[in-house]
Structures are given as structure tokens and as C-alpha cells.
Chain A
Amino acid sequence: MQKSKVTCILCPRGCTIKKKAQGDTFEFAGFGCKRGLEWAKEEFINPKRILTTTVHVKNGEIDFVPVRTNLPIPKEKIFEAISILKGIEVLAPVEIGSVIVKNILDTGADVIATRRVGKKDSSYD
């Protein structure tokens, strides 16, 4: 669903920025600065978020490894990405930064591990 207003998150003022159709183009109102306007345009057209969640680890010192996308991905793909990650199991050891899923859902973003998980019954070093 296309939104008609967004709250800017770039600074504590938190301007409410509105979008109105003006023939074929759009008009924006309510922004307090240019940086906010640019942010809002992007947020209206193609809102993106970093996705963070956890993935199963087999034979690890903990059973789940936290992961994130290395780039923001389109907001509407978040749940689809989650369901892919729910079905995955990686084998310990996992290094921080190692790629868990490459180019998830063709977004250009890789899903990477955000924590090191050693094998079961081994210490950190």
C-alpha cells in the first residue's frame, strides 16, 4: 500500500511529511529540511530496511546465530526473507561476517552472521 504521509526519523524534530498527487508528479509538504525531503521521497517510493533475525545452528555452542542483511532490503520482502531464513540450518563454527544467504530474494543484499558461534564444547579461542 502506498502511504500518503511519513514521519521523518533523521532528527528529533520528527516532521510529518505529506505527499500529494499533482497531475503526473507529486508535491511534498511538511519537511523541515532538504535532507528530510530526500529521505521521504525514498521512503514513499521504495522503503527499505535492514533485516535482523536468527538462524538455526547445528552443533554450535549456542543453537541460534544472529544474522542481518548487509544492505537494506525492500520492506515488502521482509516476511518472505524471514520465511527463507527460518528454513535454514548452518553448521558450526560460524564466523562473524560470513555469508549465510547470498543475494537474498534478488535484492542484492547478502545475509551475514553477526556473531561468532564456536563448535559445541569448545571455548572462545
Chain B
Amino acid sequence: MEKYKVVVIGGGPAGLAAALESFKSLDDKKVLIIERDKFLGGILNQCIHPGFGLHYFKEELTGPEYAHRFVEQVVENRIEYLTETHVIDITPEKEIVAVNKKGLKRIKADSIVLAMGCRERTRGAIITPGTRPAGIFTAGQAQRFINIEGYRIGKKAVIVGSGDIGLIMARRLTLEGIEVKAVVEIMPYSTGLRRNIVQCLDDFGIPLLLSHKLVKIHGKYRVEGVTIAKVDSQLQEIPSTERFIECDTVLFSVGLIPENELSKKAGVVLDMRTGGPVVDNTFSTSQKGIFACGNVLHVHDLVDNVTLEAQTAGRYAAIYSQHPELFENNIHINIMAKEGIRYVVPQKLNKNFVQPFVLRFRVDNFYKDAIVTISNAGKILIEIKKSILTPGEMESIEISQKILSQLDFSNDIVIRLQNI
């Protein structure tokens, strides 16, 4: 069985950054990346629009360009990677089973970095009644078909969900000559960035129907149209507001979920709210020597944050392979999300690594002029005023050395919104 110090599963931006960082930290350089697709780069290969790298590179890149910068480094450093290779099992002993054209492969790792990204919720996830004709896609699937395979997927489309992926696909379809009849959003607001609402919808006069719901899909062989209706503040359909829209294509962009089949097999404890593993500030999961980063951990809006997080995960995965004892049990205090905070990552702090780190979190609703506080042992350590907080935007707070020096390690760290 082949042996590696660090094996990274997934060759997207998270996996690439983690592998590069592990590689830098290790003397014997035994690092391997395993990717099921034909190319490294992950979801970025299909995100051909600009908007990547503004924070990390201070310039605006497209997805493939952003990915390229990391793939190039992987190639230059001769980091080993396997493409078209699918990991099908991981054991708590850190044995990896992968398949490719050559057959089954078993690999032993000192530490593993999970970087498998996320998957899209489908029409089933929002329980959409109607028939099952051709012409129904998730937005990401349609993105791949158009941007990589070059298919023409339809003529007239309705998009369900107004997060960034839905908005970006509205523009992409329009440029491809497909008429986007409407973007239908059940909430009274879009969770997409304003920039995308302006440049993807307003630019082309595409209607955004807020507080509207998809009621039914029509069509026997191919989609023939959809029925939509208005909803009230309880998200319940308002009778007699139904409207039929003729179309041959429906795109669902209704959220992402971390891809956690493998994490479960490895016995990693998951967080119900993020859908990804519970991790500490080293990005270690509950299984010693298994780390997680990127969208498999929690769904990010900006790839720049994925890169930063993955670098930390990669560095600690390398440290684990040399000093596993620093990651043993009962070395943690909890980081708890309370009032107004939907989730926080990391969820724990490892007392052996009391070094500055970043807390990333999402709020559970829209808030104006709220105060985010971080407290410990009844004492408020950080207080930050925010004029606007929205569930769609990931927030972050840096925990500095100064703050860490004030911590009482027999108590939890608590993050909450005050004055709400």
C-alpha cells in the first residue's frame, strides 16, 4: 500500500491551497491530491465570470484564472496528483480507497484533508409538484453544460432561486441567446450580491419576482411551462395569484450542501447547521488526523476565504503528521453560536495552538445596526458594530493574540448579536 504524509481529497481551490501549504511545511514532501474530475480546479473551471480573487490577489479574475494560479504552483512544485480518480471510502485509520480506470487503489495517509466541495439542492429538496419532463437542471449543472460542454440547453427559461449562482446563470443564459422569463424567489429579498442583481438582471431587464413560489412544473416530454404564485409573510401561497409562464427550461438554484458522504464514512462528527464537520481552529475534525476546509466544511460565498482557510488546514495537517500528540483528546474549549448567529466556524479551540485565527459566521436574519459580541467567562472581549448584517453574507472576526491572552480556558467562547 502506498504511503503519504498528507493526502488531500478534492482538487478544487480548497484542496490545491491545502496541498501547497502541507507541501511547504513538510521535509519529505509526500503529499498527494486526488481529484475525480479530468482537471484540477474544481467548480472554478465552470465559473467563467469575473469576481474572483479581489481579496487574495487584489485583482479581479475569472474562476479558471484564479484556479490556474494554484494549479501552476502544484505543477511547478511537482506535487503528486491523480485526476479522474474517485475516492470511495476513508476509514478512521486513515486508509483511503479510490477507483480509476486502472482499478482500485489503497493509500495510507498520516493525515487527510477533506476538500470535496459541496453539491446543489435539487427540485426534490424544495418538494416541487408536477411532471418530470426533460429541461430541468440545477444551475450548476446548466453552468457546466454551457460553459464547458458547450450545449445549448433551451430557448426560454425560468430560474428558481435568486442566490448568486441563479443570478449569474440568468446573465449567462441571456448572453447565450436564451430568454430568461423571470427569476422566482420565495423570500422577500434576494440572498445574492447586489452587484449581481444589477449586472445580471437589471442590465438585461430580467424580472426578479420576490415573494413568489414555483407551484408546478408542466410538460410531458419537455418542460412546457411553470405555474408560479405569490406567497405571504409565512411563505404560504396566496390563493388566486397563480400565473402560468411558458418556458422549456427550469433552473434550480436553491442552495448548496457540503458533500459529506466520505466524512460520514470516516466517522467525522457533523454540525447540523453548517452541514459540514465540526472543526477546531486547526481545522481538525473529531477524527484525529482528518482535517476539512472549503465548501465541504461550510458553504462560502468567496473563494478567497476558501483559500485562506485551506492554507491553515494544510499547515496543521502537516504538523499532525509529525506531532499527532498535540491533537489528542480533551484539549478543547467550545465556541458557541448564540442569539442571532446561525453558525460559527471553527466550533472549537485547541488549547495547544493558541494562535490568532479567524471566526467565520452567518447571522440568522436581516439585521440593521446590530452589535456582534464575543465573550468568555461572562466577560465581553470583542464588540463590533455592524450597520447591516444579512444571512447571505459570511462575516468574519479575527481573534488576535491580545484577545487570546485574556481567555479563561475553563469556559466557552460565545458569539452573539446584542440589542436585537
Contacts and interface: CB of A to CB of B under 8 A. Distances in A.
B388 interface: yes
A61 B393 CA distance: 37
Given A54-B48, A64-B147, A66-B62, A116 B198 contact: no
A12 B388 contact: yes
A66 B146 CA distance: 11
B148 interface: yes
Interface of A: 6-7, 9, 12-14, 49-50, 52-54, 56, 61-64, 66, 68, 75, 78-79, 82, 96, 114-116, 124-125
B199 to A, nearest CB: 7
B195 interface: yes
B388 A114 contact: no
Contacts of A56: 150
Interface string B190-205: 0000110111001100
B150 A9 contact: no
Nearest to B61: A114
How would you classify the secondary structure of chain B's contact residues: helix, strand, loop or mixed?
Answer: helix
B68 A96 contact: yes
Nearest to B194: A14
Given A7-B194, A64-B148, A124-B75, A115 B202 contact: no
Given A9-B194, A12-B194, A68 B50 contact: yes
5 interchain residue pairs of minimum CB distance? A66-B48, A115-B64, A9-B195, A64-B150, A114-B62
A53 B60 CA distance: 16
B178 to A, nearest CB: 12
Contact of B202 (A7, A50, A54, A63): A7
Nearest to A12: B388
* Residue in A9, A14, A66, A82 whose Cβ sees the most chain B Cβ within 10 Å: A66
Contact of B175 (A7, A66, A78): A78
B325 interface: no
B265 interface: no
Given A75-B203, A78-B175, A114-B62, A52 B149 contact: no
Contacts of B175: 53, 78-79, 82
Given A64-B150, A124-B75, A52 B194 contact: no
B95 interface: no
Interface string B138-173: 000000001111100000000000000000000000
B64 A66 contact: yes
A66 B175 CA distance: 14
28 contacts: A7-B194, A7-B198, A9-B198, A9-B199, A12-B388, A12-B393, A14-B194, A52-B48, A52-B49, A52-B62, A53-B175, A54-B48, A54-B150, A63-B149, A63-B150, A64-B147, A66-B48, A66-B62, A66-B64, A68-B48, A78-B175, A82-B175, A96-B64, A114-B64, A115-B64, A115-B65, A115-B68, A116-B68
A75 B387 CA distance: 32
Given A79-B175, A115-B64, 5 more contacts: A7-B198, A13-B387, A56-B150, A68-B48, A114-B48
B50 A50 contact: yes
Contact of B45 (A14, A75, A115): A115
Contacts of A125: 75
